[in-house]
């Protein structure tokens, strides 16, 4: 998908990109190989050829920062397949807005293993930073509005440059509603222990664990968080494929 992307060129927006695709120029190679391109002067084409060459070089060394800066946040999804091996799925639980919104649990999943960091145990700036180190893309549900700002405010850690927020991506596919609703739409089932639990319940579970040192409440909370995070992977690949088809019209 990234090699079909032209909106990273300065002066090319989504409409011009569509025009290029429609005229048969569907990849960077097509563009650079064409002797001339409709609606683009030869002078500009020269500049774009250089830019695309630079993009190719950055793609081959897998430089996530390069693309993060050249694409608007709502188009970061285009790099999901490219950086799939360096993705981290992330979901946090907190004490809630009016209790200062302190992070209680940070759940991370890299596609193979799940790791939860718990406040008062192993949730530290250093542990988080090292777990996120080297990741090129973070996948969240509404993380742009919630998880990432909260984490930055509390821990000031470096986060991966690319961010695939499934909430806004799903909306582009006319899938409205929160994470649980969308999970159900895609046929994902929750375990018996966490069936029907919501974010508000996560707050309650935390307080139950804290007040009574109730380890079973914590373990339910961690299970809930784990399912949230692990399900993001399936959601992401589904949403990526649908978005790709929708945007390109699957030429």
Contact between 72 and DNA by CB under 7 A: the answer reads yes
Contact between 202 and DNA by CB under 7 A: the answer reads yes
CB-nearer residue toward DNA: 14 or 85: 14
Contact between 141 and DNA by CB under 7 A: the answer reads yes
Q: How far apart are CA 225 and CA 243, in angstroms?
A: 26
Among 70, 84, 119, 172, binds DNA (CB under 7 A): 172
Q: Which residues are within 8 A (CB) of 122 and not within 5 positions of it... i.e. 6 or more apart?
A: none
Is residue 91 helix, strand or coil?
Answer: strand
- Provide the mask over 75-104, with x wherever binding to DNA is found by CB under 7 A and - wherever it is not: ------------------xxxxxxx-----
Q: How many residues does the chain have?
A: 251
Among 32, 190, 199, 237, binds DNA (CB under 7 A): 199
Q: Which of 139, 156, 129 is nearest to 86 (CA)?
A: 139
CB-nearer residue toward DNA: 56 or 198: 198
Query: Which residues, in sequence order, are bridge partners of residue 92?
Result: 106
At its nearest, how many Å lie between DNA and the CB of residue 71? 10
8 Å CB contact between 229 and 91: yes
Q: How far apart are CA 67 and CA 79, in angstroms?
A: 8
Instruction: Name residues contacting DNA, limited to 6-65 (CB under 7 A).
Output: 10-17, 19, 38-41, 43-44
Instruction: Name residues contacting DNA, limited to 142-171 (CB under 7 A).
Output: 142, 144-146, 149, 153, 165, 167-168, 171
Query: Which residues, in sequence order, are bridge partners of residue 90?
Result: 108
Strands 162-165 and 137-140: parallel
Among 74, 194, 237, 242, binds DNA (CB under 7 A): 74
Q: How far apart are CA 169 and CA 150, in angstroms?
A: 21
Where does this chain bind DNA (CB under 7 A)? 10-17, 19, 38-41, 43-44, 72-74, 93-99, 141-142, 144-146, 149, 153, 165, 167-168, 171-172, 176-179, 198-200, 202-203
């Amino acid at each position: 998908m990234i090699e079909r992307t032209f909106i990273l060129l300065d002066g090319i927006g989504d409409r011009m990109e569509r025009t290029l695709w429609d005229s048969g120029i569907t990849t960077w190679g097509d563009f650079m190989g064409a002797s001339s391109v409709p609606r683009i002067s030869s002078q500009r084409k020269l500049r774009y050829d250089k830019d695309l060459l630079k993009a190719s070089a950055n793609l081959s060394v897998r430089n996530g920062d390069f693309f993060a800066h050249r694409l608007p946040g709502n188009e970061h999804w285009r790099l999901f397949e490219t950086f799939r091996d360096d993705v981290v799925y992330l979901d946090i639980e907190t004490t809630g807005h009016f209790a200062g919104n302190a992070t209680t649990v940070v759940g991370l999943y890299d596609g193979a293993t799940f790791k939860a960091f718990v406040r008062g145990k192993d949730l530290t700036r250093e542990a988080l930073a090292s777990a996120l180190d080297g990741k090129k893309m973070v996948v969240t549900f509404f993380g742009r509005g919630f998880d990432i700002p909260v984490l930055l405010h509390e821990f000031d850690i470096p986060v991966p440059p690319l961010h695939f927020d499934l909430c806004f991506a799903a909306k582009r596919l006319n899938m409205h509603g929160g994470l649980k609703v969308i999970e159900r739409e895609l046929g994902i089932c929750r375990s018996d222990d966490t069936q029907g639990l919501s974010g508000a319940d996560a707050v309650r579970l935390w307080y139950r664990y804290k007040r009574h040192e109730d380890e079973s409440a914590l373990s339910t909370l961690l299970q809930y968080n784990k399912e949230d995070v692990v399900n993001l992977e399936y959601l992401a690949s589904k949403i990526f494929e649908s978005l790709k088809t929708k945007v390109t019209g699957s030429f």
